[in-house]
Structure 1
Amino acid sequence: MPEFHFAARLALATMLLLLVPAVSHAEPDVHPVLANRTWQGIPGLECTPNGRVFVSWFTGGPKEPSPENTVLLCYSDDGGQTFNTPRVMAEPENGTRCFDPTVWIDPNGRLWYIFNRGNRETAQHDVWARICDEPDAEVPAFGAEFRIDLDCPYAFRMNKPTVLSTGEWLLPVTHASEPISTWFAGAKQLQGVGVSTDEGRTWSLHGAVEAPNWALECMITELTDGRLWLLTRAGGGYLWESHSTDKGRTWTPGRASRIASPGSRFFIRRLRSGNLLLVNHYRFKGRSHLTAQLSTDDGATWNEGLLLDERSGVSYPDGVEDKDGLIRITYDRDRSGAGEILLATFREEDVVAGRDVSGSVVLRQVISDLRSVKSGAK
């Protein structure tokens, strides 16, 4: 009898196991936005003190702008050699597109994921953000998205905030003083800054710098004489500029600078050495010849620099210098064709020499491209 009970119980257990669905250890389904990308671009980059490299960009829908636009984020834990599969950070809602993301580590070590939401049907255009308190955690966790209140009917930003010597945070903002029922405000767009004196909890909008039609995507640099220098992408062949002597509260009238531009985003930041780094199109034909240049006199003059990518269709640089002096710049190429999100790595001495003298130069590294969508949604 004992043998019979044992055999019966074994048979019953076997039947029950056959009825239990198998547990799958396969990768989770890829988000439809990632799997169905037909274009991508407009990247941003940040690096943590421990060396993790974050890269943001956006995609979704047939093009940009489009109501389906969606913002993404990926990161690297091997110094930027390889990156994980991107994740969706914010999705469109009821005709409201998500676009122009950037990543920025504040003085408290928190990682900000800043992006825009825009809806041409409701004329609502705002700046939004999510914050990760521990960006070097094994799995970085971001809080819920929240709106950065700039108290105006139309606002968006493209670039990172700047922390002044006073400790104030300045967010470069393109804005309009009236509701806008299109994706862009065009000739009604003004350039200014959101100023925060409480570490990003509240912001106040200052400045209404006028520039030619389609001026947008401004950036802020604090000069050694205490003035602030606002540079703005504009048409007409040059970046436009304005200055502030009261930490961003008021600005001089906009005017064309001496920095040539094909009318595309640029990147400027002060390096640890005190020199200024500019990544822009230089001796260009359209959006070509993306070049890193150096100024030792606060932007009065620039050297010939280091050519990062001479191909056409390269644009929208963003980057950072890490604690060891390694500079990483991300940019895009051929958004609806190759759809490449690229990385250039170098040091200041390479920009001075115009060639690889540090042994650290790596150019045209692909972080993500549309060819990879069919083979793993990279």
Structure 2
Amino acid sequence: MRGTIALMHTTLISTKSSRQWQGIPAIERAANGRLWSAFFSGGPKEPDADNYILLTTNEGDGRSWADPWPVVDPPGRTRAYDPALWHDPSGRLWLFYNQANLEERDFSVWAMTCEDSHSPAPTWSEPRRIELGVPFAFRLNKPTVLSTGEWLLPVPWARSAPEGWFVGPGQLQGVALSADAGASWSFHGAIEAPNWALENMIVERRDGKLWMLIRTGAGVLWESFSSDRGRTWTESAPTGIVNPGVRFFIRRLASGRLLLINTPNPKARTSLFAYLSDDDGAAFGPGLLLDGRERVSYPDAVQTPGGEIYAMHDCDRGGPGEIVLNVFTEEEILAASPR
């Protein structure tokens, strides 16, 4: 699953500036073409009680971005982290994020929304906690809208709250399901996978089954399936998709193909590629090289109505702290040559 680079447009949208580090970006696009990106920083590292979420925007060409500003910065010793941006089917922009407080042992999922994402200064709702009924939960990736209209939000979780920031081997993979456009959520799934299992993503296959991919520390992604729209899941198993234990991205494109953005190295966060699959993930073709450097990670992406793919990732969080945007097409991925 390695490939070669093709022509595309690459923009450096932010560096850490006076911040000590930054990374973990999200991207979304409004109907008028306005682009949004969120990422987080704060304190000397991630995780830290001083972590907070930043937001920036662009008029639509992807080249000139506003200076990022804090959008979620909880008081006290509560950290905010892992933002996700997502337009729901009605056009409302969601900012999902997590909060954690070690003193209170609170580990929760939150969201805020706006109806005017076309504006450079949208009006955000008050943040609200998404009640999941578990003592430890967080999420990173965008929801998936099923063919039934239900929304699935991938959520790693645990049966008890840890003493530190992370759970470790006891972490499970689940989904929050909403049948009322995000007004309420039910929680399903307790999928086990190798240590450091987190940051799951879900696509609906053409046969109606749901395919969950899971980041693990085992050198490959793991998978689980659901035949009842996310209520129950199969026991997890390894895939053949090599990954060093880092965030990946998978989404169905308007063409029907699956887009996978991944680091095909079992041990190191080096080089990021985009792949396509015509057969619901049974196989992926040659990859388009998005960034060949070391310390590249955490892709997120969105497709425009015209078919362009806007993909964002970070590079060297504690060094320059780059947030990088690549703009490319399916045709460029298809033209990539194996090597």
TM-score range, shorter chain: over 0.9
The residue that corresponds to 2:33 in the other structure is 51
Q: Can you list the C-alpha shifts for 1:273-314, whole angstroms capped at 9, x where unaligned?
A: 000000001257611110000000000001112110110000
Give yes or no for the alignment of 1:303 onto 2:285. Answer: yes
| TM superposition shift of 1:165 | 0.2
CA distance in 2, matches of 1:51, 1:259: 33
CA distance in 1, matches of 2:162, 2:149: 33
CA distance in 2, matches of 1:318, 1:75: 16
Contact preservation (8 Å) 1:268, 1:276: yes
Match of 2:51 among 69, 80, 88: 69
The residue that corresponds to 2:225 in the other structure is 243
CA distance in 1, matches of 2:306, 2:220: 33
Which region of structure 1 is more displaced relative to structure 2, 280-289 or 252-261?
280-289
Where structure 1 has 5 or more consecutive residues not aligned to the other structure, the ranges are 1-33, 356-378
Contact preservation (8 Å) 1:227, 1:247: yes
**What does 1:135-284 correspond to in 2, within 5 Å?**
135-282=117-264
Letter in 1 for 2:223: E
Letter in 1 for 2:317: R
CA distance in 2, matches of 1:138, 1:100: 22
Question: Greater strand percent: which structure?
Answer: 2
Match of 1:110 among 54, 70, 92: 92
CA distance in 2, matches of 1:289, 1:319: 17
Larger radius of gyration, structure 1 or 2?
1
Match of 1:120 among 98, 102, 118: 102
Distance 1:138 1:53, change over 3 A: closer
Match of 1:334 among 304, 316, 319: 316
CA distance in 2, matches of 1:35, 1:244: 44
Q: Can you list the C-alpha shifts for 1:63-114, whole angstroms capped at 9, x where unaligned?
A: 0000000001111004211111112111133211000001000001000011
Where structure 2 has 5 or more consecutive residues not aligned to the other structure, the ranges are 1-15
The residue that corresponds to 2:7 in the other structure is none
Distance 1:262 1:35, change over 3 A: closer
Provide the alpha-carbon RMSD of the alignment.
1.3
Give yes or no for the alignment of 1:93 onto 2:75. Answer: yes
CA distance in 1, matches of 2:333, 2:102: 42
| TM superposition shift of 1:330 | 0.4
Contact preservation (8 Å) 1:305, 1:353: no
Contact preservation (8 Å) 1:291, 1:309: yes
CA distance in 1, matches of 2:298, 2:17: 24
Letter in 2 for 1:292: A
CA distance in 1, matches of 2:30, 2:334: 25
Greater RCO structure (CA 8 Å; 6+ sep): 2
| TM superposition shift of 1:143 | 1.2
Question: Greater helix percent: which structure?
Answer: 1
**What does 1:348-367 correspond to in 2, within 5 Å?**
348-354=330-336
Letter in 2 for 1:339: G
Q: Can you list the C-alpha shifts for 1:8-35, whole angstroms capped at 9, x where unaligned?
A: xxxxxxxxxxxxxxxxxxxxxxxxxx87
The residue that corresponds to 2:3 in the other structure is none
Contact preservation (8 Å) 1:173, 1:193: yes
User: SS in structure 1 opposite 2:247?
Assistant: coil
